[in-house]
Amino acid sequence: MNRRKIVYIVSDSVGETAELMVKAVLTQFNEEDIEIQNISYVEDHKDINNIIAVARYNDSIIAYTIVIPSLKQYLDQRVKEERIMAIDLMEPLINAFSQKYNREAHFQPRLMRKLDDNYFRRVEAVEFAVKYDDGQDVAGIKQADIVLIGVSRTSKTPLSMYLAHKRFKVANVPLVPEIAPPDELFTIPKNKCVGLIITPNKLNEIRKERLKNLGLTSQANYANLNRILEELDYAEGIMKRLGCPVINVSNKAVEETADLILAMLKKERSWVG
């Protein structure tokens, strides 16, 4: 009987890492008749016995990335009994990390997938923050995890981006006396919205610096103290109508304000649960 040359890629996760490694190795040979079969999400001894039952009838190599100790031990035992060549692609590097950095591995499958999911959620949140920055599209208010409101220069945009990197979808809306706030603000749960306030003198200082960076005179209405007082009174009135939590950002770093917002969210979700 002509036995097929097959490399079985066995994993308690997707098996992508092992597959890439095996394909990289195969490029070093001219053996075009070697097949690759990926067997993912191996969970118990029965799965391993099924793999062994097939592999022993072919000219096989088992390349595996199993991190669950009990499954790894069982696979090692069965391939030894059946005299099937098996290569653990993870163990040498795990041992090297443990010895060099004096750390214990988690030995949990699918952690890479969790990291990938976190990465894509972060990217999605950043794209959301950019799209719904500065009230560009009020449709984002209902879709957001957090809605930030406040007058200009209260750190709404940097806060939105910082929270986006924490995987929260954030929309921010400027409050300007001449423009009515979006109706959507009054349709969302009040604890989903956070008002940002600042002392008049601090805001005056920030706006003057902003005008200076733009090459404009500090006498512009944007940095006029009376105008600032008008804007702040208007914004605080809107926040009272909404009944939303309010944070004074006058002497706070973006990270500090973000931590307060996340603490509010955590407390609210804990209470709801």
DSSP three-state, residue 166: coil
**Are 195 and 99 contained in the same domain?**
no
| Res. 255: pLDDT tops 60 | yes
Measured CA to CA, the distance from residue 243 to residue 189 in angstroms comes to: 10
pTM of the full structure: 0.61
Instruction: Answer yes or no: do 125 and 64 share one domain.
Output: no
Tell me what pLDDT residue 113 has.
Answer: 59
Q: What percent of the chain has pLDDT over 90?
A: 58
72 and 204 in a common domain: no
Average pLDDT of the chain is: 88
Taking the C-alpha atoms of residue 169 and residue 123, their distance in angstroms, rounded to an integer, is 10
Question: Are 135 and 148 contained in the same domain?
Answer: yes
Query: Is residue 35 domain-shared with residue 156, that is, in the same domain?
Result: no
Structural domain of residue 227, as residue ranges?
A: 112-272
In this structure, the answer to whether residues 105 and 120 fall within a common structural domain is no
* Residue 114's pLDDT band (cuts 50, 70, 90): low
How many CB atoms neighbour CB 24 within 10 A?
Answer: 9
pLDDT > 50? residue 263 = yes
The enclosing domain of 148 has a CATH number of 3.40.50
Q: Are residues 251 and 126 in the same domain?
A: yes
**N residues, the chain:** 273
The count of domains in the chain is: 2
Instruction: Name the amino acid, one letter, at 253.
Output: A
Report the SS3 class of residue 102: coil
